[in-house]
Structures are given as structure tokens and as C-alpha cells.
Amino acid sequence: MEIKKGIAVSPGISIAKSLIIDSEDYRIPRREIKPSQRLRETQRIRNAFRDAVEELTQLEAQQNQTKGSKIKDIFAVHLRFLHDRSLRKRITDLIHSELVTAEYAVSKVLREIAAHFSSVKDTYISERADDIYDIERRLLRQLLGKRREEIENLSEEVAVIARELSPTQTAGFNKQFVKGIATDAGGRTSHTAIVARSLGIPAVVALEDLTEIVHGGDTVIIDGNRGIVIVNPDNETTQQYEKYSQEFLELEHKLDAIREKPAVTRDGTKITVLGNIEFPEEAELVLQKGGEGIGLYRTEFLYLSSPTEPTEQQHYEAYAETIKVLQNQPVVIRTFDLGADKQTQSKRFAPEPNPFLGLRSIRFCLQNLMLFKIQLHAILRASLLGHVKIMFPLITNHQELMQAKMILRDVMEDLDDESIPYNRNIEIGIMIETPSAALTASTLARDSNFFSIGTNDLIQYTLAVDRGNELVSTLYSATDPAVLRLIRTVIQDAHKAQIDVAVCGEMASEPDYVMLLLGMGIRAISITPPMIPEIKQIIRSVTIEDCNNVARKVLSMNSERQISNFLRNAARKILPEAF
Amino acid sequence: MEKVVFETAIEIKNVHGLHMRPAMQFVDVANQFICDISVSDGVKVVDGKSIMQMVILAATRGTKLKIKAEGPDAQEAINALQELVESKPFIDPDSDG
């Protein structure tokens, strides 16, 4: 039994046999097979050679007609390799002696040969290594192409395991048989995550080396609620998860009924429950789950999913699509929050030594005015299509807010010059996600229409903890007294200034923390869409008086441990089946 | 059955040595016969019917090779291969070949 932790991107629990999808674009990991599978794998090798020969023969014949003698020669040489019995024998011998998959054997043997060629001093021969890589890819395409066909014609339930899934790979997924998805790479915004969420398949990503641990046919538990994957679970674990799975399905069913009902506490206080989204396609999900608008529309995907910078029209179309789905319900568009993540660092000429304290988010926008203005132009142009608000991320001081607003005014003037209509009174808010912003909230409130507390970054910056770093991640906690005091300050200052304040970080989608947030004065939250029904259920089960008592007690406590235990017990009393 | 073995020594004369195209021609000729054919550079012994092994031999210009054929048509095989390598050097479309 092996337990791997990743990022949960689509909720639910699946227990199924694994089906691994390798890709010819990445190194094929060593994967073992059972002795009984040897014949099948050698048969796959035979078929792959046969089909590759057929493919090459056709290509060579086409070259005959066009008289490209050089290319024809290359194909002829490749064909000789595919006909070479000793090459095929070396591959099938490896399958028999080391009990490995056909893909791995092909890759290993051909790469050894290529390495041997490369090491020969004669450049004419060493350059032929490229031919060997070409043959390797051709054989792998044959092997993996058949795998993809298999997935489209599944007849039993599987958990799909891959390094990363591309749109062509997921296009043929059948929800009836693909019960779970787990990938080495990816994040909340990856293609896999979006597909899994839209199909309602439990998924966990960012598992790093999962594909090297799992063997085809292994039983795999994918826990899309907690972000855990368990390979070859023991009986006890399997039984435990079967129970979780059953409970989860029952709860889902029960929560279905809640979707239409308002998020009102038992003593009649209305709470606004909004959804966080990345892609226009997710807007529909927010409504389906019973959300009343979008409290955080992350826009980075426009930049990260394309090799070139998005045009103003691309921005506009994405925003328009989302806004139209929501009709007149609010859509809070957060401007680019780029900078600290891997993609932008790798695009950078010289990566920053400490990117989370570097040129990220609003700072990045204020130094890249073209990019920033294009986005603001598109948001303003879309502002008349519905109820649009603008939100600036990672504000650390008042001057930054004023600069951002000045640039917004510039863009408004541009639109006036172009005679393009827009909402002149568009609401402008900021995210409170640094201690400096929290401590100066009263000043920032004078020039903001609303606050949204981004707890993920606020916790990281307050406690000086990178939660991705497992050496210190246990120090990362939403219930640290320091974090809670900052949050309380922000809420109080917002109330004094009579502006709206919401929480849009992950803290708001944790059932344990709902009572505390309401008790501290929060009346709007924005959370990941799948969590909306459950959080609504909790809201409908509490009274503001209960919540105030919880908050009062918690704010008098001095230990993170004590607070989290207290909150867990309080929440369990309200909605025992959710835990 | 009587074991028929024939051997011959040859020298690689074309500029680029026994690279892909000549190796391809070599194995094409070798594969016309049913006898086993091995090629040795004095260090390694490889299968003369396998392009992979022949290229791995990496015989550059001037390399002396020993070809050994074992089987009923060994004599004809040796003659044909010797002719390919020496009497009518590899057809090398590259003019520098």
C-alpha cells in the first residue's frame, strides 16, 4: 500500500483498477507486468512492428512518386530496422527477463542503441541517433495509439493514471467507465482538472511520480475530496473508503435538495454564497450548485493557456461568455494575478530568487501596463452585459491601489475617446491577502467599494510559511490566532467604512470554519463550486447567535491546536454526516 | 549434414565507413541467403543480417572486417558480400562517398 498526496481538483471517491496512459512526448517510466501478461505484451510488440512497417511502407511509396531520394533512403533504413529480428528479439527478451511493459521495453532498447550511436566518434554515425529516436517514437505511437482506442471502447470501470492528459486524450472518456483520474502534473487550472470537474469524475493532480509507482491493473483509490491517492490499498483501507464513498454519495444526494433553497441561517440572516471560477465553462456549474454569482473570477488562464499574450478581443469574449451565463448576478473579475507560479517564472528571462516576494500580481501589472490596460479595456467593454465588478489582487499599500485606479481611469478615457459605452460606476474592490493590507484596511476602505479576503496568501504571508513545502507545511493554518486577528481587523474596518467584505480563500469552503466566519461578521463567501451545497447546508443549520458565541470563544483562545479542535467539534454537532 | 563454413577478410573503403546506407545494402544482400552470417572487426562479432548490429559495429573507412558464413549457401553468400564491399564499392549517391 502506498499513499500519495496531491491537489484535489474534482470531488468524489473512486476505487478501481488503474489504466495507465503513457505519452510518447515524455520519458516512459519503467512499469512492471505480471508473468501471465508477458505473452500479451510480446504480441503488442509484434503488432506495433507490423503496423509501423505498414505505415512506413506507405510513406516510402509516396516518396517514390515524389522522387525525394534522401527521405526515401531514410524510410528505407528505418524499415530495415523494423524488419531486424535481433532488434525485436532484444525488446521481447527484455519483456521476458525483466517483466516490463512493451512501451518501456521499446523505449529502453532503442534509447540504449541511440546512446551507443551518439558515443561513436564518427559524426556520421553519431548523428544517426536521431533516426533511432524517430523509430522509437513511431513504435510508441503505435503502442499508445492502440491504448487510446482501448479507452474509447472500455467495458469495465477504470481509474485513468497519466503524467498529464491532453484534450485529445480526454475527448473519448466515457463517464460510465472512467471512474477516477490521477495525474503526475497539473494544477487547479489544468485541462485534466476542468474536464474532471465538468464530467463529475473524482480527480487528484500534482502527484509528481504517481505514474512510476502504479502498475497497470493495480487497485487505486482516488480521493478527490482530500487530494489523496492510495495504490494497492489493504483490506481495511478499502473497506474504510467504500464507506466514505457511500457516505459521500448519500450526502451528495441529500444536498441536491438544498441547491434551490436560499442560504439563510435559522434565525433569518441571509448569507451570499458565490463561486470561484477559472474558466467561462465553469460559470454554469456555479448556478447548478446553487451559487448566486461569481465572487472570484480568476483570469490567469487567458495568459497561461496560450503561448502568446491574449488579445483584447479574447479577453472580452471570455468575460462576455461568463457574464451572459450569470445574467444579472454579480461577477467579480480579478485582474491578472501572475508572477509567482511556475509558468510565468519559466517564461521569464532570469527567474526571481524569491518569486512570492517578487514581481507578482498587481505589481507585475503595474510594471506591464500594456498587458494590464488590455485587460481593463476588455473588462470595461464587457461591463454593460451584466453586473460586473473589478478586483485588484495583492494590494500591499494605499499607493498601489491609487495607481491601479488611475490606470483604470486612463482606460476609461480611452473608451470615451473610442465612443465605446461602459459602466462608469463599476464597483472597484481589492483582495486583502497581505498583513500590510489587513493592518491598513481602514485606509484602503476609503478608496474601495468592497474587500475580499484571500486567505491562502494571507496565511502564507502572515505565518511566513510555504504550504507546498512539506518541511514546514504543518505550520500553515487558517486558525492561527495571528491570522484570525488580522481577519477580524479587516471585517471590522470594512463594517466601519460600510463597504462589503467577503472571504474568497479556501478557508471559506472548509465546513469547520463557516460558523467562525459568520460569527466574525462575514455575510458573503466565495468558494469552489462543488462545495456550495455543503456550505449552504451548514449555513441553514446554524443561528447567528451560535456563530457569535463560537467566534467569541475562538478569539479568546491562544493556540492554533485548541482552536481547530474546538471548531471541528462545533461543526460536527451541526452537520455530523459531512465529516 | 555437413557443416559448410566460409570466411573472407575485407576492408571498408568508402569515405563515411559502413554507415546507414551501406549497412542497409549489406544486410539486404546478406538476407538473400539462408546461411548464418557473422561479421567481426576483431573485437566485436555481430550478426551480418541485422542492420542494428552492423551499424553498432561502426566500421569506419579503413576498418578490416572478417565475414564468416555458415550454412549450405555459405560460399555464394561470401562471394556476393565480397563483391558488394570490394569489387563494386557501395553505391553511394553522395558524390563524396
Q: What is the DSSP string of A62-130?
A: HHHHHT-HHHHHHHHHHHHHHH-HHHHHHHHHHHHHH-B-HHHHHHHHHHHHHHHHHHSS-HHHHTTHH
Q: What rounded mean pLDDT belongs to chain B? A: 82
At A510-532, the pLDDT tens digits run: 889 999 999 999 999 999 888 89
Q: What rounded mean pLDDT belongs to chain A? A: 89
Identify each DSSP E strand in B4-83 by its residue range. 5-11, 36-40, 45-47, 64-70
At residue A281, does pLDDT exceed 90? no
Interface residue A151 vs chain B (CB under 8 A):
no
At A373-411, the pLDDT tens digits run: 999 999 999 999 999 999 999 999 999 999 999 999 999
User: Quick one: average pLDDT of B75-97?
Assistant: 70
CB A23 within 8 A of CB A231: no
Is A401 a member of any domain?
yes
- Which one of B12, B26, B51 would you mutate to disrupt binding with A, by most A Cβ within 10 Å of its Cβ? B51
Looking at residue A104, what is its pLDDT? 92
pLDDT band at A13 (very low <50, low <70, confident <90, very high): very high
Three-state secondary-structure class, residue A476: coil
- CATH code for the domain of A438: 3.20.20.60
Q: Which of residues A245 and A188 earns the better pLDDT score?
A: A245
pLDDT band at A120 (very low <50, low <70, confident <90, very high): confident
- Which one of A122, A128, A134 would you mutate to disrupt binding with B, by most B Cβ within 10 Å of its Cβ? A122
Based on the domain organization, do A77 and A135 belong to the same domain? yes
**Cα–Cα distances in angstroms (integers) from residue A486 to residues A152, A317, A400, A436, B55, in the given order:** 52, 38, 20, 10, 70
| Dist. CA A229–CA A15, nearest whole Å | 10
Q: Which residues of B touch A72 (CB under 8 A)?
A: none
The CA angle B53-B57-B58, to the nearest 5 degrees, is 125
| Dist. CA A125–CA B51, nearest whole Å | 13
Based on the domain organization, do A206 and A135 belong to the same domain? yes
Q: Strands across the sheet with B36-40, in order?
A: B5-11, B64-70, B36-40, B45-47
Inter-chain CB proximity A86 and B28 less than 8 Å: no
CB A272 within 8 A of CB A525: yes
Looking at residue A144, what is its pLDDT? 83
What is the domain count for chain A? 2
Looking at residue A344, what is its pLDDT? 57
- The pTM assigned to this predicted structure is 0.65
Based on the domain organization, do A162 and A272 belong to the same domain? no
At A444-489, the pLDDT tens digits run: 999 999 999 999 999 999 999 987 777 888 899 999 999 999 999 9
Is A172 a member of any domain?
yes
Catalytic residue among A78, A315, A377, A504: A504
Q: Which of residues B22 and A246 earns the better pLDDT score?
A: A246
Provide the grid cell at A109. Answer: 532498447
Q: Is A136 left (phi over 0), alpha (psi -120 to 50) or beta?
A: alpha
CB A449 within 8 A of CB A389: yes
Q: Which residues of B touch A85 (CB under 8 A)?
A: 49-50
| Dist. CA A527–CA A256, nearest whole Å | 17
Q: Would you list the domain boundaries of chain B?
A: 5-87
User: Quick one: average pLDDT of A78-93?
Assistant: 93
At A317-355, the pLDDT tens digits run: 999 999 999 999 999 999 999 876 645 555 555 678 888
Q: Which residues of A touch B61 (CB under 8 A)?
A: none
Provide the grid cell at A384. Answer: 454593460
| Dist. CA A128–CA B16, nearest whole Å | 12
Identify each DSSP E strand in B1-97 by its residue range. 5-11, 36-40, 45-47, 64-70
Provide the grid cell at B76. Answer: 555464394
CB B74 within 8 A of CB B36: no
Looking at residue A350, what is its pLDDT? 67
* pLDDT over 90 percentage in chain A: 60
Looking at residue A333, what is its pLDDT? 98
| Dist. CA A5–CA B77, nearest whole Å | 62
Looking at residue B97, what is its pLDDT? 35
Q: In this predicted structure, which of A25-29, A52-56, A505-509 has the lowest mean pLDDT? A: A25-29
Domain interval for residue A401: 257-578
- CATH code for the domain of A159: 3.50.30.10
Is A247 a member of any domain?
no
Q: How far, in whole angstroms, is CA B11 from its chain's centroid?
A: 10
A365 is catalytic: no
Task: Report the half-sphere exposure of A245 (CA within 13 A, side-chain side).
Answer: 17
Inter-chain CB proximity B55 and A86 less than 8 Å: no
| Dist. CA A472–CA A371, nearest whole Å | 36
| Dist. CA A252–CA A471, nearest whole Å | 35
Looking at residue B96, what is its pLDDT? 38
Looking at A213, A231, A249, the residue that finishes a domain is A231
Kindly list the catalytic residues of B: 19
At A404-450, the pLDDT tens digits run: 999 999 999 999 999 999 999 999 999 999 999 999 999 999 999 99
Q: Which of residues A280 and A53 earns the better pLDDT score?
A: A53
At residue B94, does pLDDT exceed 70? no
CATH class for the domain made up of B5-87: alpha beta
Alpha helices in A327-360 (DSSP H): 342-347
Based on the domain organization, do A347 and A428 belong to the same domain? yes
Measure in Å the smallest separation between the Cα of B16 and chain A Cα atoms: 7
Based on the domain organization, do A227 and A290 belong to the same domain? no
Based on the domain organization, do A134 and A190 belong to the same domain? yes
pLDDT band at A310 (very low <50, low <70, confident <90, very high): confident
Is A248 a member of any domain?
no
Based on the domain organization, do A189 and A264 belong to the same domain? no
Task: Give the helix/strand (H/E) hosting A252.
Answer: helix A235-256
| Dist. CA A449–CA A120, nearest whole Å | 70
| Dist. CA B42–CA B39, nearest whole Å | 9
Q: Which of residues A559 and A195 earns the better pLDDT score?
A: A559
At residue A232, does pLDDT exceed 80? yes
Based on the domain organization, do A308 and A428 belong to the same domain? yes
pLDDT band at A562 (very low <50, low <70, confident <90, very high): very high
| Dist. CA A159–CA A320, nearest whole Å | 36
Is A67 a member of any domain?
yes
Q: Which residues of A touch B58 (CB under 8 A)?
A: 120, 122, 125
pLDDT band at B90 (very low <50, low <70, confident <90, very high): low
Q: Which residues of A touch B53 (CB under 8 A)?
A: 86
Interface residue A69 vs chain B (CB under 8 A):
yes
Is A560 a member of any domain?
yes
pLDDT band at A110 (very low <50, low <70, confident <90, very high): very high
Q: Which residues of A touch B51 (CB under 8 A)?
A: 77, 80-81, 84
Q: Which residues of A touch B56 (CB under 8 A)?
A: 113, 116-117
User: Quick one: average pLDDT of B24-37?
Assistant: 92
Based on the domain organization, do A309 and A357 belong to the same domain? yes
Interface residue B63 vs chain A (CB under 8 A):
no
Intra-chain end-to-end CA distance of chain B, in Å:
43
User: Quick one: average pLDDT of A527-545?
Assistant: 91
Inter-chain CB proximity A87 and B52 less than 8 Å: yes
Compute the Cα dihedral for A323, A324, A326, A327 and give only its sign: positive
Q: Which residues of A88-98 are buried (b: 16+ CB within 10 A; e: fewer)?
A: bebbbebbeee
Provide the grid cell at A381. Answer: 467593454
At residue B18, does pLDDT exceed 80? no
Is A240 a member of any domain?
no
- DSSP assignment letter at A311: P
Is A237 a member of any domain?
no
Across the interface, of A76, A87, A122, the residue whose CB is closest to B50 is: A87
Interface residue B56 vs chain A (CB under 8 A):
yes
Q: Which of residues A215 and A38 earns the better pLDDT score?
A: A38
Based on the domain organization, do A336 and A227 belong to the same domain? no
- Which one of A80, A89, A110, A128 would you mutate to disrupt binding with B, by most B Cβ within 10 Å of its Cβ? A80
At residue A69, does pLDDT exceed 70? no
Measure in Å the smallest separation between the Cα of B34 and chain A Cα atoms: 14
Inter-chain CB proximity A86 and B56 less than 8 Å: no
Interface residue B20 vs chain A (CB under 8 A):
yes
- Which one of B20, B24, B26, B60 would you mutate to disrupt binding with A, by most A Cβ within 10 Å of its Cβ? B20
* pLDDT over 70 percentage in chain A: 93
Can you name the residues that pair with A204 across neighbouring β-strands? A8, A182
**Cα–Cα distances in angstroms (integers) from residue A259 to residues A32, A111, A271, A297, A491, in the given order:** 46, 55, 14, 21, 28
At A124-179, the pLDDT tens digits run: 777 788 888 889 989 998 888 777 777 777 788 999 999 888 766 676 677 788 99
Q: Which of residues A471 and B74 earns the better pLDDT score?
A: B74
Q: 3-state DSSP: chain B helix, strand, coil percent, rounded to 5?
A: 35, 25, 45
- Chain B's closest residue to A128, CA to CA, is B20
Based on the domain organization, do A430 and A530 belong to the same domain? yes
Measure in Å the smallest separation between the Cα of A31 and chain B Cα atoms: 25
Interface residue B47 vs chain A (CB under 8 A):
yes
A504 is catalytic: yes
At A29-57, the pLDDT tens digits run: 888 888 999 999 999 999 999 999 998 89
| Dist. CA A145–CA B50, nearest whole Å | 28
At residue A199, does pLDDT exceed 60? yes
Based on the domain organization, do A141 and A209 belong to the same domain? yes
Can you name the residues that pair with B6 across neighbouring β-strands? B69
At residue B95, does pLDDT exceed 50? no
